[in-house]
Amino acid sequence: MSESKQVENVIIIGGGPAGYTAALYTARANLEPLVFEGFQWGGQLQNTTDVENFPGYPDGVLGPEMMSQFRAQAERFGTRFVTDDVDRVELSDGGVQRVFLGDEEYRAKTVILAMGAEPKRLGIPGEMELGGRGVSTCGVCDGAFFKGDRVVVIGGGDSAMEDAIFISKYARELILIHRRDEFRASQIMLDRAREQENIEFKTPYAPLEFVAGEEGKLEKVRLRHSETGAEEEIEADGAFVAIGHTPRSEIAAGQVETDENGYIVTEPGSTRTNLAGVFAAGDVVDHTYRQAVTAAGSGCMGALDAERYLRDSPPPVEAHWMPGGEPVELSPRG
Ligand code: NDP
């Protein structure tokens, strides 16, 4: 096993708005952050087109472009990036935090967990098997493949509306399927979807199966009426599952406290987790707001919390003897 030479001040795991904002703030505080931004850096905004609700962009901005700017701003102050996915972590309560990339071990006095969230799956037959053959979780990525086709979008939140509006620019016909008659989506997004002539709403129906045709591509979606239980099949060339997200907390699960849905638990009004020196920010914590701007705000809080922790706590005992660790005067934690 190879070892990095030094104990970092702060390692940030995550390359979305929370991670990059935490990097910007810690870099400006001269903490020389090391960011594990993931192989597909940029987080969920990498899969978005127009962002119209991030303050400071009166004309809107493309999601990937905004994330490039976040990254560049953090880099300007000395952030270092590792463009890969962390394999595992060994978190400690006030000791040295360990992050592993394959056999490579990285150590830090603090870690900010900002891994974000990922799309939820329906868990029905055909969903995984037909991934890339008609079934997708990313309208913005795959919508253009369905030009002139008949497409379904599943879900009743803003993600489903956003996907439906985007894909309807390509699809001939789009059917939005939702399991209830009421929608979780904001009124403005719902109205925009309803204004599209080629979008039809089909409620209350839940999908049961994605059925392949002879060529092994999606051909039909089997549905059940949520109230009567009656089943039916509708033809579709494409199906987009847009039913929300799951926090990407798996590498920290069992080490740091999480709630029943896997979101990392932080002290109210702070990014402190149950482990001293371990902070969490962004969508891996937040199941309420889940916006780029709130993720960025909590990334800022994570950076300030980590900075204060480093200022007020003696370095971990192990940092005393680790290569590159600062020689410290050992005193009990205050
Ligand atoms: P939401 O949790 O808001 O909505 C998920 C939808 O999927 C719900 O309608 C839910 O149904 C449905 N659903 C969940 N599980 C299943 C299932 N197993 N089978 C069938 N249907 C299911 O998630 P979103 O991703 O839509 O939005 C998350 C947050 O992000 C929100 O705060 C939203 O406002 C925001 N957002 C904002 C955007 C923007 O402003 N441009 C774009 C996208 C998201 P039910 O209602 O019955 O529970």
Structure-token pair, residue 20 = 């990059």
Residue 320 pLDDT: 57
Question: pLDDT grade, residue 138 (50/70/90)?
Answer: confident
Q: Say yes or no to pLDDT of 12 above 60.
A: yes
Question: pLDDT grade, residue 137 (50/70/90)?
Answer: confident
The verdict on the CB of residue 122 being under 6 Å from ligand 1 is yes
Least confident segment among 36-40, 44-48, 121-125: 44-48
Residue 5 pLDDT: 61
Distance 222 CA to ligand 1 centre (A): 21
Query: How close are the terminal C-alpha atoms of the chain, in Å?
Result: 35
pLDDT in tens, 193-220: 999 999 999 999 999 999 999 999 999 9
Distance 212 CA to ligand 1 centre (A): 26
Pick the closest to residue 235 from 263, 207, 200, 211 (CA basis): 211
**Residue environment code for 16-43, b if the CB has 16+ CB neighbours within 10 A, otherwise e:** bbbbbbbbbbbbbbebebbbbbbeebbb
Q: Whose CA is nearest to atom 28 of ligand 1?
A: 244
Higher pLDDT among residues 47 and 93, named by residue: 93
Average pLDDT over all residues of the chain: 92
Structure-token pair, residue 202 = 């089909």
Element (H, E) at 154: strand 150-154
CA-243 nearest atom, ligand 1 = 7
What is the rounded CA–CA span in Å between residue 284 and residue 265? 9
The fraction of the chain above a pLDDT of 90, given in percent, is 81
pLDDT in tens, 163-195: 999 999 999 999 999 999 999 999 999 999 999
Stretch 141-154: mean pLDDT, rounded?
93
Least confident segment among 44-58, 120-134, 269-283, 301-315: 44-58
CA 101 to chain centre: 20
118, HSE (Cβ side, Cα atoms, 13 Å): 8
Alpha helices in 136-287 (DSSP H): 139-142, 158-167, 187-195
Positions marked active-site: 138, 141-142
Q: Say yes or no to pLDDT of 291 above 50.
A: yes
The verdict on the CB of residue 307 being under 6 Å from ligand 1 is no
**Residue environment code for 173-212, b if the CB has 16+ CB neighbours within 10 A, otherwise e:** bbbbbbbeeebebeeebbebbeebebbebebbbbbbbbbb
Q: Say yes or no to pLDDT of 333 above 80.
A: no
Question: pLDDT grade, residue 332 (50/70/90)?
Answer: very low
CA-120 nearest atom, ligand 1 = 15
What is the rounded CA–CA span in Å between residue 235 and residue 51? 32
Residue 322 pLDDT: 53
What is the rounded CA–CA span in Å between residue 39 and residue 128? 22
The verdict on the CB of residue 292 being under 6 Å from ligand 1 is no
Cis peptide before 316 (omega within 30 of 0): no
Residue 329 pLDDT: 39
pLDDT in tens, 57-88: 999 999 999 999 999 999 999 999 999 999 99
What is the rounded CA–CA span in Å between residue 331 and residue 334? 9
Stretch 44-64: mean pLDDT, rounded?
87
The verdict on the CB of residue 202 being under 6 Å from ligand 1 is no
Q: Is 102 helix (H, G, I), strand (E, B) or coil?
A: coil
The fraction of the chain above a pLDDT of 70, given in percent, is 93
Instruction: Report yes or no: 236 and 146 within 8 Å, Cβ to Cβ.
Output: no
Residue 56 pLDDT: 96
Element (H, E) at 66: helix 63-76
Q: Whose CA is nearest to atom 38 of ligand 1?
A: 158
The verdict on the CB of residue 155 being under 6 Å from ligand 1 is yes
Question: pLDDT grade, residue 316 (50/70/90)?
Answer: confident
What is the rounded CA–CA span in Å between residue 302 and residue 16? 14
